[in-house]
Structure 1
């Protein structure tokens, strides 16, 4: 079923929790790491996804904080979620995650002094789907090194992001997805945000898309600022 997209719909960028938080954990893939080619744009043929992770799914956890949370990021487009998160995601009938492959935690190392962790969650490897929702190029504050030329993927080099919005009518109801135009970012619905709060899931940071900033080279926002619709 396609969800309605109204002027009041809100979306958030999903990232792992803050550095040095209680749940600050790095997840690294353990050899052998098998991969296959990622997705390409069906229209222009340019790559839109990182290489896909294939079995065996094995990781090492490095704890900078005190314990391991419900959401971890690893290399590529691959994400790890706890078993309790996966169970609630299915029971609440949310949409947008793919995979749910059991992961073997080969070892756990603590980066700082402290007791050895004893309660490590079981994790599953998932990926966020490539959604139909598209970044509204004219209403977003994104600095490109060249303008997007493909109407489908809108995937050109991005120098900085100082807030973005989705094109009205493009969202198809997914609760977690990678939007056309910013495939490197994971975006979630307002329903997902309420789901996280209700269940108290840890190590998740949700930033409204219009407030999201990514500017690694300090290029600043585009000029002039787009006028609001």
Structure 2
């Protein structure tokens, strides 16, 4: 299948809801916690992902908000999705997620006063595919800690700030959810995925156009035009 060039399509960053939102919850993994080996770039050998979580999948959920949503984010690159999300994702033929292993929720603990949630969804652990889709380094506004990426394959380098990014034309092959080369830490989704989330009303999923993402923990400000011409 020939996909439309990525540069002509909208993409979004998928994140969980904000702190103190209605669906604010922490995921604490319970012993035994087994981890696999982190993936490496086949060209330069550098790490391009975090240690994968291996079974058994046992968690405690610490609820700060009012109820449990369809999307939870433990540490690492693994994601937790509700059974209803997983079923719809597979039935509608969306692509980019792997795993779908059941998670045992040992307990739900409230951090603040209030009733326990009336419903605890059945969750599954999924992993987002590491894609061949590449971040367009020239058109993205990324502040690097030292030097820009030197490996053409993974395009990884330490980042201090992000003020929007775009994907390189002709590298996208149709995945609906993926981690692109150059920004493996950012879960990126297609327009079809965004419509899917809206249509089903899945909760605790925040979608931001990639060009509008702002991540600047040290408040450095956006890069200058000499660093990243457009």
TM range (shorter): over 0.9
Cα gap change, 1:2 to 1:17, in 2 (>3 Å): farther
Cα gap change, 1:179 to 1:94, in 2 (>3 Å): same
Residue of structure 1 equivalent to 2:211: 210
Tell me which stretches of 4 or more aligned residues in structure 1 moved more than 6 Å.
none
- TM-score for both structures, normalised by structure 2: 0.96
Distance, in Å, in 2 between the alignment partners of 1:168 and 1:108 is 44
Residue of structure 2 equivalent to 1:181: 182
> Once the 2 structures are TM-superposed, how far is the Cα of residue 6 of structure 1 from its aligned partner?
5.5
Deviates most, 215-224 or 201-210: 215-224
For each residue in 1:49-97, what CA deviation from the matched residue of structure 2 results, as whole angstroms up to 9, or x when unmatched?
A: 1001111001110111111000000011010000000000001100000
Residue of structure 1 equivalent to 2:40: 40
Distance, in Å, in 2 between the alignment partners of 1:216 and 1:31 is 32
1:93-172 paired onto structure 2 within 5 Å: 93-145=93-145, 146-172=147-173
- TM-score for both structures, normalised by structure 1: 0.96
> Once the 2 structures are TM-superposed, how far is the Cα of residue 221 of structure 1 from its aligned partner?
1.4
Aligned residues, how many? Answer: 228
Distance, in Å, in 1 between the alignment partners of 2:26 and 2:3 is 35
Distance, in Å, in 2 between the alignment partners of 1:127 and 1:5 is 25
Secondary structure of the corresponding residue to residue 129 of structure 2: strand
| Unmatched segments (≥5 aa) in structure 2 | none
> Once the 2 structures are TM-superposed, how far is the Cα of residue 177 of structure 1 from its aligned partner?
0.4
- Root-mean-square deviation (Å): 1.2
Distance, in Å, in 2 between the alignment partners of 1:116 and 1:7 is 46
> Once the 2 structures are TM-superposed, how far is the Cα of residue 227 of structure 1 from its aligned partner?
4.9
Cα gap change, 1:6 to 1:151, in 2 (>3 Å): closer
Distance, in Å, in 1 between the alignment partners of 2:37 and 2:74 is 17
Residue of structure 2 equivalent to 1:89: 89
> Once the 2 structures are TM-superposed, how far is the Cα of residue 3 of structure 1 from its aligned partner?
2.4
Whether the 8 Å CA contact 2:33–2:53 is kept in 1: the answer is: yes
Distance, in Å, in 2 between the alignment partners of 1:4 and 1:219 is 35
Distance, in Å, in 2 between the alignment partners of 1:150 and 1:6 is 21
Deviates most, 217-226 or 64-73: 217-226
For each residue in 1:99-119, what CA deviation from the matched residue of structure 2 results, as whole angstroms up to 9, or x when unmatched?
A: 101000011001111112231
| Unmatched segments (≥5 aa) in structure 1 | none
> Once the 2 structures are TM-superposed, how far is the Cα of residue 25 of structure 1 from its aligned partner?
1.0
For each residue in 1:163-203, what CA deviation from the matched residue of structure 2 results, as whole angstroms up to 9, or x when unmatched?
A: 11000111111100000001111000000000000000000
> Once the 2 structures are TM-superposed, how far is the Cα of residue 5 of structure 1 from its aligned partner?
2.1
